Structure 1
Amino acid sequence: MENKTTIHDIAKALKIDASTVSRALNNSPRVSQKTKARILAKANEMGYQRNVLASNLRKSVTNTIGVIVPRISRHFFSSVISGIEEAAYDAGYNVIICQSLEQLKRERKIIETLLANRVAGVLLSVSMETVEFDHLLNMKNNGTPFLFFDRHCEIEGISSVLIDDLQGGFEATEHLILNGCKNIGHFSGPQELAIYRNRTAGYRKALEKHKIPFRPELILRSSLMENDGAEGAKTLLSLPYDIDGLFSANDVAAIGAMKYFKKEGIRVPENVAIVGFSNEPVSGIIDPSLTTIDQPGFQIGQIATKLLLDEISNSSKDNIIIGKTTIQKSSLIERDSSRRIT
């Protein structure tokens, strides 16, 4: 294995102390600009690479933030990550991205690993299984700054950057009602998660506003994968109602339902109008294109990162951090899956 250049090699080549080389590479004011320039030039010439891990261990905390998302493959989360990386890069921070794959056990392990690597802070969107959060309380108790985005747990003193899910659910359902739907099914995720409770609350609020009876059996809960959407569509058709609308709490399950309806000869939107949530790229290219609720992922990532970096800065000064919730608006994008002539 090739030997890596060390500060001792640079010191030997320049016939100076290793401590001077170390100070120069760490931009110490104790070394003159002329000597620094000479040392940096020799370091580059010899292919020196700084041992960031060793440096971080000495400092006890890194200039790295950890990011945990349920699935990187989801467009919303990848756009949030883009916002996080841009804001972190501008502030001189590195980013480690991890995915829980909707598993609590995996989420716990990731947090353990991030803390062992002494990240400066963590941005987290919890998994669908995260109904207990002792691992998050441990992170809070050991003083690592963290905050939630999109999916959160109610932990005192911890900030969140969220979508107005209730308003999004309301707009999606009211859009279906205004397009003539009266028997509207709703695909929801686990009710332990606030985002799904709030989207369901928005659904109920729209029904109430338009004096449409609420039928609990029209709410189907699942992990909102594509096969869940197909199963949900099958269940809705088996109920003694003439289902003419569907609001799904994500696009993936909505697309699963659309495929099932197509297979069964049920036309979208003529027989069943559909609205999804999250504006996955595929939603605009499937046939018919899917009406959905768009979320400003990039902005959420930027806002969350700036808030976290503020908290990291305040925690290093022993300031008291007060958790706050920042709400971002969503917007309905109308496409062919809900356009009906009423």
Structure 2
Amino acid sequence: MEEQKDVTIYDIAEKLKLSTSTISRALKDHHSISEKTIKKVKKTAEEMGYRPNTLAASLRSNKTKTIGVLISRINRPFISSLISGIEETAQKAGYNVIITQSHDSYEDEVNMAKALYSSRVSGIICSLAMETRDTSHFKQFIDKNIPLVFVDRVPKRFDTYRVMIDNYSAGYKATKHLIEQGCTRIAHYAGSQFRNIYSERKRGYVDALIEHNLPVDEDLIIHFNTLSYEEGVMRTNKLLDLKNPPDGIFSANDTAAVSAIQCAKKRGLKVPEDVAVIGFNDDPIASIIDPGLSSITHPAVKMGQTSAKKILNHLKKSKKDDLTEITFLNTEVVVRESSKRKKV
């Protein structure tokens, strides 16, 4: 079957015996064209199966009304909620969203950033890959005055919009909660310390121990590569094999925390009586696992909405010079059975 050719404004012009400029203006509801002509042109365009070529139009105007999103992995609940917030806000403003994944690889992130730049996105929202230390590949957006928002995993030094939580305070609150439940040997499952979100959560953990006169034991600080379930099982088994194992675990994400709970239970330990556990993100799995996982809320949808608003507001500004704004969103401790030793 022969492929049908796309209908163009030239085809509509020929059928209606009007100029192409009249057709073009009528399709855009231009004030110089009468209402009667606009209706006739639109009706004919619909009948002929005309589709506007938004890509060609964007190349002419150099504006795509598209926001590029570059994240680590789309299959993580936090990330999917973040994207949901971005899409909801962007679509209401008439913008489309292109989503790309780095799979936590620096090389993939560089390639995806180039692809988004070549696609002439109006703005870009990025949560950095776990491997990324050098962020020079984002300079191309700043040089072209394309608004850039780093969200959650943000670089320590880069003058642009940043939307994040106070990870230090969150790490402190999580550790303090375990201390209040009577834990005295608290382990920490730490993410890559090159990512400031994980180094700040660890700093909050350390300060909470110090301020409550508890020792900081380096054997109990476990530096993960990926904070995956599989790595969590392996690290938890090693931790529980210690002569003096921990009675509390604060994990920098919920996935590794879930693996800690299941690993402890398989070994015949009671959660939270023998080992209390708290995670981070408050992913859906936190309320499904038995016992329910205590966690720190991570307002993913709101972070996505705020990031998209930063892009949209920047695009509206006539003077585009303020790129250093940092927005902090609040977190809370959600207490469930995995850490609840004392009645509240």
Q: What TM bracket, shorter-length normalisation?
A: over 0.9
- Do the aligned residues in 2 keep the contact of 1:250 with 1:278 (CA within 8 Å)? yes
Aligned to 1:80: 82
Contact 1:229 1:254 in 2 (8 A): yes
More displaced, 231-240 or 294-303?
231-240
Task: Give the counterpart of 1:276 among 279, 283, 293.
Answer: 279
1:282-321 alignment, distance < 5 Å: 282-314=285-317, 317-321=318-322
Report the Cα distance in structure 1 between the residues aligned to 2:82 and 2:40, rounded to whole angstroms. 42
Alignment of 1:71-220 (within 5 A): 71-220=73-222
Q: Counterparts of 1:320 and 1:276 in 2: how far apart (Å)? A: 39
Distance in 2 of aligned mates of 1:169 and 1:37: 60
State the match for 2:33 in structure 1: 31
Letter in 2 for 1:2: Q
Match of 2:339 in 1: 338
**8 A contact 1:83–1:302 mirrored in 2:** yes
Instruction: State which drifts further: 136-145 or 59-68.
Output: 136-145
Deviations 1:316-336 (A, max 9, x none): x35312311100011111111
Runs of 4+ in 1 over 3 A off after TM superposition: none
Give the letter aligned to residue 213 of structure 2.
K
User: What amino acid maps onto 1:69 in structure 2?
Assistant: I
1:246 aligns to what?
Answer: 249
Q: What secondary structure sits across from 2:22 in the alignment?
A: helix
Displacement of 1:309 after TM fit?
A: 1.3
Equivalent AA in structure 1 for residue 286 of structure 2: S
Shift of 1:142: 3.2
Segment drifting more, 304-313 vs 280-289? 304-313
Q: Aligned letter for 2:238?
A: T
Cα separation, 2, equivalents of 1:64 and 1:306: 13
Deviation for aligned residue 1:341: 4.4
Q: 1:281-305, CA deviations, whole angstroms, 9 ceiling, x for partnerless residues?
A: 1110111111011111111111111
Tell me what 1:235 maps to: 238
CA contact (8 A) 1:157 1:321 kept: no
Does structure 2 conserve the Cα–Cα contact (< 8 Å) formed by 1:103 and 1:128?
yes
3-state SS of 1:175 partner: helix
SS at structure 1 position matched to 2:338 = helix
Q: Distance in 2 between matches of 1:262 and 1:274?
A: 12
Q: Deviations over 1:239-275 (max 9, x none)?
A: 3423100000000011112222122222211111000
Any unmatched runs of 5+ in structure 2? none
Work out whether residues 176 and 273 of structure 1, in 8 Å CA contact, stay in contact via their aligned partners in 2.
yes
Partner of residue 328, structure 2 = 327
Q: Distance in 1 between matches of 2:134 and 2:159?
A: 17
Bigger CA drift: 181-190 or 150-159? Answer: 150-159
Equivalent pairs counted in the alignment come to 340
DSSP 3-state at the match of 2:99: strand
State the TM-score, normalizing by the size of structure 1: 0.96
What is the CA–CA distance in structure 1 between the aligned matches of 2:149 and 2:63, rounded to whole Å? 18
**Secondary structure of 1:247's aligned partner:** strand
Distance 2:28 2:132 in 1: 42
* 1:226 pairs with 2:229: yes
Identity %, equivalent residues: 40
CA contact (8 A) 1:268 1:288 kept: yes
Q: In structure 2, how many angstroms separate the alpha carbons of the residues matched to 1:256 and 1:120?
A: 41
Q: Deviations over 1:14-66 (max 9, x none)?
A: 11112211122233333222211211111111111111111111111210001
Q: 2:69, 2:99 within 8 Å by CA — same for their partners in 1?
A: yes
CA distance in 2, matches of 1:247, 1:228: 15
CA contact (8 A) 1:278 1:295 kept: yes
1:128–1:156 CA distance, 2 compared to 1 (3 A): closer
Q: Secondary structure at the match of 2:261?
A: helix
Say what the alpha-carbon RMSD is for the aligned residues: 1.4
CA displacement at 1:111 relative to structure 2: 1.0
Structure 1 residue 235, shift from structure 2 partner: 2.2
Separation in 1, partners of 2:112, 2:319: 27
